[in-house]
């Protein structure tokens, strides 16, 4: 499946830049709070010796997907990943679409807790949990100013 084929089915491209873009095209469907994000792992994301998606690419995708859910939850606040736990449960074969439907577990004034399962078709390939730190933008501005 190509990004163009997914777009024809109503998926939208998730804007990624620099490192995040290196794992391949990411797209999303659904409304805030109920989104599905997919990765079309390109040749750069494949462990060429085994013909499977590289574990680092899956970790990056998990961070992107859950971060997108956190961005929906916070509505514009800045945040960073404070902790990411990841359990590989099966290999994701090269050329398959990996999907993730993140869930926000809890939001406090300073932290957001999220979790997700990652699938290739009906098969779970990973389970992940993360904690994101909400940044104090006024404090960041003061620190940058020195």
Which structural domains are found in the chain, ordered by start? 3-145 (3.10.129.10)
Rounded to whole angstroms, how far apart are CA atoms 78 and 129? 19
The tens place of each residue's pLDDT in the chain, 146 residues long, gives: 899 999 999 999 998 888 999 899 999 999 999 999 999 988 889 998 999 999 999 999 999 999 999 999 999 789 999 999 999 999 999 889 999 999 999 999 999 999 999 999 999 999 999 999 999 877 777 767 76
CB 118 within 8 A of CB 58: yes
Rounded to whole angstroms, how far apart are CA atoms 123 and 67? 23
């Amino acid at each position: 499946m190509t990004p163009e084929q997914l777009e024809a089915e109503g998926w939208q491209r998730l804007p990624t830049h620099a490192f995040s873009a290196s794992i391949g095209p990411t797209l999303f469907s659904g409304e805030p709070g109920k989104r599905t994000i997919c990765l079309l792992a390109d040749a750069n994301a494949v462990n060429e010796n085994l013909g499977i998606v590289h574990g680092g690419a899956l970790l990056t995708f998990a961070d992107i997907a859950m971060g997108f859910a956190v961005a929906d939850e916070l509505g514009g606040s800045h945040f960073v990943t404070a902790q990411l736990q990841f359990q590989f449960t099966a290999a994701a074969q090269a050329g398959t679409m990996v999907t993730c439907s993140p869930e926000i577990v809890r939001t406090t004034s300073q932290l957001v807790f999220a979790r997700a399962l990652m699938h290739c078709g009906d098969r779970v390939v990973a389970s992940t949990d993360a904690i994101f730190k909400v940044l104090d933008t006024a404090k960041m501005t003061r620190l940058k100013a020195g």
